[in-house]
Amino acid sequence: MHRFISARLLILMGFLLILEYGLSPFFVFLRGRPDLLYLVILDYAFFGNWQQVPWFSLGVGLLRDCLGAHLFGIQALSFALTGYLLSLGGQKLERDNFWVRLGMSFLFVGLTEILSLGLAGWLETSQAISLNSMGTIFLTTTYTTALAP
């Protein structure tokens, strides 16, 4: 039986949190930057217990909600929903294949970003969905997928 969270995963999450909120603003390329917290979820999905991915994603989303500036719950909901889709993909697809992992990573990050933007645009009046924001989502998705496990 797998543990829900391991010491290696806690160390990885702490390291990526420091990089995400400490150094990540310095790595902006063409309005996009890699989002490092996705890497923890992808690592858990591909090399850990894929059945617990929705719960783990919910936890990472709650952590991100606590540290972020959006309405509380937007990140948690979008991470949990796309984490559920990621766990379904982990059941049906072969996770050992590099190209499958790359495609699943791209879809997970892209869908989570689009869902977060949609929820923020619906619930927060200050955020509007535009072609510019979709370009930023594509660049963020591409950069994060390039770093994915």
**Per-residue pLDDT tens digits for 69-119:** 778 888 888 989 998 988 888 777 777 788 888 888 899 998 998 888 888
List C-alpha distances in Å: 17 to 13, 53, 124, 141, 148: 6, 19, 25, 18, 16
List C-alpha distances in Å: 64 to 3, 19, 37, 54, 101: 22, 14, 8, 15, 24
**Model confidence at 36: pLDDT above 50:** yes
Contact indicator for 94, 101 with CB cutoff of 8 Å: no
pLDDT at 1: 42
* Three-state DSSP class for residue 93: coil
* pLDDT tens string 50-71: 788 888 888 888 888 888 777 8
